[in-house]
Homo-oligomer: A and B are copies of this chain.
Amino acid sequence: MRDPAPLGCVAIVGSGQIGTMLGLALRASAATAGVREILLYDVRPGIAEESLARGAGDRLAGSLEEALGAESIILAVPVPQIVDLIDHLVAGPARPGKFVIDTGSAKDVVTEAMRRLPAGVHAVGGHPIAGTERPGPAGAEPRRLGGATFVLTPARDDPEALRRGRSLAEAVGARPLVMDAIEHDRALAVTSHAPHMVAFALALAASADGAQPAARPDLVGSGFRGTTRLAASDPAMAAGFLTANAAATREALARFRRTLDRLESSLDAPEALGHLLAEARVAREALVDAGPAPADRAPQEPMP
């Protein structure tokens, strides 16, 4: 590990699952990451307090302005609010030398906003791929960061921003992966955003609709539960990154639809369908078993 960049006083803006998870992990390695103090801020009453009680920070920031005055700012809020907060920094309190990173699942709109910051501000897009659908401080599981990919999407040519981003990612136990924001968004559309749309659509399609009654809860097994699990996500947060990455999500959904059509056209041919399903299973294994995060893999696919 190269010499880590000290993060100094860190403010986590947004104390939901991701903000709390990062705070917990960062506090555990505060000394090595050069973290002097962790401030927590959340616009929702009680949430920052709950995160503090879990141990995600040293104290609450008295105001948004106090949080944004910190040396390192982690924006862990829904994507539209990340952009709003960056624009707020552009308009006012962004002193040179400051480090700014976010945790949103859509990166192009974020890095675009970051390019409007004064040149001396070290800003980089961030996406720790370690979240779950469980909202709030209670949903935070810092062990999930262990070995997880922490994507860093450069906003501009700024080695110091990348250095501090790497420092943060490594301090929380994750593996930094530098990639282009647009490339990230295309990839995540396939591995996350289209699956979110599909999960929400499956859940909604099982509810009552005109002549068709809702599905029966006593006929719901673990399959439906798992396939729709992402539909338990916070709707505003999901709507935020889905609309921020609409074009790539549409592209991924178009491909998904074509594939579903292929499967459906074999519904009358057991052998042909079996071959396609076997191909799909192999494809999934290659993606899931080769994944990076041990904490995310073991115990293998527990059945509740």
Contact = CB atoms under 8 A, between A and B. Distances in A.
A273 to B, nearest CB: 4
Contact of A229 (B204, B227, B291): B227
B214 A283 contact: yes
A222 to B, nearest CB: 6
B205 A274 contact: no
Taken together, the copies of this chain in the complex come to 2
B221 A249 contact: no
Interface stretch (A58-66, A155-163, A185-193): A185-193
Contact of A218 (B196, B258, B291, B304): B291
Give the size category of A's interface with B.
35 or more
A207 interface: yes
Contact of A242 (B130, B149, B273, B289): B273
A226 B226 contact: yes
B304 A296 contact: yes
A267 B249 contact: yes
Interface string A164-206: 0000000000010100000010011011101111111111111
A95 interface: no
A114 to B, nearest CB: 20
A217 interface: yes
Contacts of A149: 218-219
A151 B273 CA distance: 26
A72 to B, nearest CB: 25
B198 A239 contact: no
B198 A232 contact: no
Contact of A201 (B200, B226, B260): B260
A177 B258 CA distance: 37
A235 B285 CA distance: 13
A198 to B, nearest CB: 6
A29 interface: no
B301 A229 contact: yes
Contact of A200 (B203, B235, B280): B280
Given A195-B223, A239-B274, A281-B231, A205 B259 contact: yes
A230 interface: yes
Interface in A241-283: 242-243, 246, 249-250, 252-253, 255-260, 262-264, 267-271, 273-281, 283
Residue in A205, A239, A283 whose Cβ sees the most chain B Cβ within 10 Å? A205
Interface of A: 80, 129-134, 141, 144, 148-149, 151, 175, 177, 184, 187-188, 190-192, 194-207, 209, 212, 214-233, 235-236, 238-240, 242-243, 246, 249-250, 252-253, 255-260, 262-264, 267-271, 273-281, 283-292, 296-304
